[in-house]
Structure 1
Amino acid sequence: MRGRPLPIWYDRRYRPPIPAIPLINSTIGRRADYVIGYLLDRELIVPSQIRNAPAIAYDQLALVHSTGWLDSLADPEELGPLYGVPPAALQVGEVLRTIRLACGATLAAAHESLEQHQHGLNLLGGFHHAAPEGGSALSPVNDIAIAIAVLRGEGFSDRIVVLDFDAHPPDGTAACLRDDPAAWIGSLSGVDWGGVVGADETVLPKKTGDREYLEALAALLDRMPPTGLAFVISGGDVIAGDQLGSLGLTLAGARQRDLLVAEALSTSPTVWLPGGGYHRDAWKVLAGTAMAVALGSDEPIEQIDPLHERFARTAATLEPQALGASTELTLDDVLADLGGSPTASARLMGYYTAAGIEHGLERYGITGHLQRLGFEDIRVVIDRRGKGGRIRVLTGREPDAQLLVECVVERLDLDGRQLLYIEWLALQNPKLQAGPERPLLPGQEHPGLGLAREASEVLLQMARRLNLSGVAFRPAWYHTAYTVRHSCRFVDPARQGRFEAMLRDFKQAPLDEITRATADGRILMNDVTYPWEPEVMVHWLNGGPDDEAAIAAERCAVRFSLATPSE
Structure 2
Amino acid sequence: MPSRTPQISPRLRRTYPRLSGLDLSSSEGESLSLDDLGLESSGDRVALAFETYSREGLERALAAYGFTQRLEERVGPFELRLSCQEPFQPRLTFWSRRYHTPVADLSLRRALGAEVGFTHAAAEAPLLYVDSLLLQHPGRPFDWNRPPLPGQLHPGLSLSNDILELLHLMARRIGAEAVALMPATFAAACVYEPRYAFVDGAAQGRFSALRRAGRGWPRWLLAWAVELGCMRDEQGQPALFAPSAMISPLSRRLSRRLDTRGWHEAQRFHAKQPLTLDEEALQARFPWGRMPPGPPPERVVELLGYDPLSPASPLDEGWDRASIPLRSIAGV
SS for the counterpart of 1:549 is helix
SS for the counterpart of 1:380 is strand
Please tell me whether residue 317 in structure 1 is matched to residue 317 in structure 2: no
Q: Is the 8 A contact 1:518 1:532 kept in 2?
A: yes
SS for the counterpart of 2:241 is coil
Residue matched to 2:106? 407
Shift of 1:305: 7.0
Q: Is the 8 A contact 2:207 2:271 kept in 1?
A: no
What CA distance in whole angstroms lies between the structure 1 residues aligned with 2:265 and 2:44? 50
Match of 1:383 among 83, 94, 97: 83
- The one-letter code sitting in structure 2 at the alignment partner of 1:468 is A
Residue matched to 1:562? 277
Residue matched to 1:463? 171
Shift of 1:393: 1.3
Query: Residue deviations 1:158-207, cap 9 Å, x none?
Result: xxxxxxxxxxxxxxxxxxxxxxxxxxxxxxxxxxxxxxxxxxxxxxxxxx
- The one-letter code sitting in structure 2 at the alignment partner of 1:537 is M
Q: Is the 8 A contact 1:497 1:550 kept in 2?
A: no
Query: Residue deviations 1:81-111, cap 9 Å, x none?
Result: xxxxxxxxxxxxxxxxxxxxxxxxxxxxxxx
Q: Structure 1: 5+ residue runs without aligned partners?
A: 1-302, 334-345
Map residues 421-460 of structure 1 onto 2, 5 A cutoff: 421-434=129-142, 438-460=146-168
The 3 A distance-change label for structure 1 pair 310 and 388 is same
Shift of 1:437: 5.7
Shift of 1:531: 1.8
Match of 2:246 among 531, 537, 542: 537
Residue matched to 1:550? 265
Match of 2:193 among 440, 461, 485: 485
What CA distance in whole angstroms lies between the structure 2 residues aligned with 1:435 and 1:507? 22
- The one-letter code sitting in structure 1 at the alignment partner of 2:22 is Q
The share of aligned pairs that are identical, in percent, is: 26
What CA distance in whole angstroms lies between the structure 1 residues aligned with 2:141 and 2:170? 32
Please tell me whether residue 475 in structure 1 is matched to residue 166 in structure 2: no
- The one-letter code sitting in structure 2 at the alignment partner of 1:348 is A
Whose Rg is larger?
A: 1
- The one-letter code sitting in structure 1 at the alignment partner of 2:240 is P
Shift of 1:523: 1.4
Q: Is the 8 A contact 1:471 1:539 kept in 2?
A: yes
What CA distance in whole angstroms lies between the structure 1 residues aligned with 2:44 and 2:8? 38
Map residues 19-168 of structure 1 onto 2, 5 A cutoff: none
Shift of 1:394: 1.9
- Taking structure 2 as the reference length, the TM-score comes to 0.68
Shift of 1:500: 2.0
Residue matched to 2:127? 419
- The one-letter code sitting in structure 2 at the alignment partner of 1:540 is P
What CA distance in whole angstroms lies between the structure 1 residues aligned with 2:271 and 2:146? 36
Shift of 1:462: 0.5
Shift of 1:466: 0.7
What CA distance in whole angstroms lies between the structure 1 residues aligned with 2:48 and 2:165? 20
Shift of 1:551: 3.7
Q: Is the 8 A contact 2:81 2:92 kept in 1?
A: yes
Shift of 1:476: 0.8
What CA distance in whole angstroms lies between the structure 2 residues aligned with 1:427 and 1:384? 20
SS for the counterpart of 1:501 is helix
Q: Is the 8 A contact 2:186 2:223 kept in 1?
A: yes
What CA distance in whole angstroms lies between the structure 1 residues aligned with 2:44 and 2:110? 22
- Structure number with the bigger relative contact order (C-alpha 8 A, sep ≥ 6) is 2
Shift of 1:557: 4.2
Q: Is the 8 A contact 2:6 2:195 kept in 1?
A: no
What CA distance in whole angstroms lies between the structure 2 residues aligned with 1:385 and 1:524? 45
SS for the counterpart of 1:528 is coil
What CA distance in whole angstroms lies between the structure 1 residues aligned with 2:251 and 2:57? 26
What CA distance in whole angstroms lies between the structure 2 residues aligned with 1:430 and 1:508? 30
What CA distance in whole angstroms lies between the structure 2 residues aligned with 1:372 and 1:556? 41
Match of 1:369 among 70, 76, 79: 70
Shift of 1:483: 1.5
- The one-letter code sitting in structure 1 at the alignment partner of 2:79 is R
- The one-letter code sitting in structure 2 at the alignment partner of 1:481 is A
- Taking structure 1 as the reference length, the TM-score comes to 0.41
What CA distance in whole angstroms lies between the structure 2 residues aligned with 1:555 and 1:320? 46
SS for the counterpart of 2:279 is coil
The 3 A distance-change label for structure 1 pair 320 and 485 is same
- The one-letter code sitting in structure 1 at the alignment partner of 2:247 is V
The 3 A distance-change label for structure 1 pair 511 and 324 is same
Q: How many residues are treated as equivalent by the alignment?
A: 250
- The one-letter code sitting in structure 1 at the alignment partner of 2:92 is I
What CA distance in whole angstroms lies between the structure 2 residues aligned with 1:324 and 1:518? 44
Shift of 1:497: 1.6
- The one-letter code sitting in structure 2 at the alignment partner of 1:550 is E
Shift of 1:307: 4.6
Shift of 1:330: 7.1
What CA distance in whole angstroms lies between the structure 2 residues aligned with 1:566 and 1:329? 57
What CA distance in whole angstroms lies between the structure 1 residues aligned with 2:192 and 2:225? 19
Residue matched to 2:48? 347
Residue matched to 1:176? none
Residue matched to 1:509? 217
Query: Residue deviations 1:367-402, cap 9 Å, x none?
Result: 1112222512x33111125431211112328xx743
The 3 A distance-change label for structure 1 pair 475 and 409 is same
The 3 A distance-change label for structure 1 pair 503 and 313 is farther
Q: Is the 8 A contact 2:103 2:138 kept in 1?
A: yes
Shift of 1:460: 0.8
Shift of 1:324: 1.1
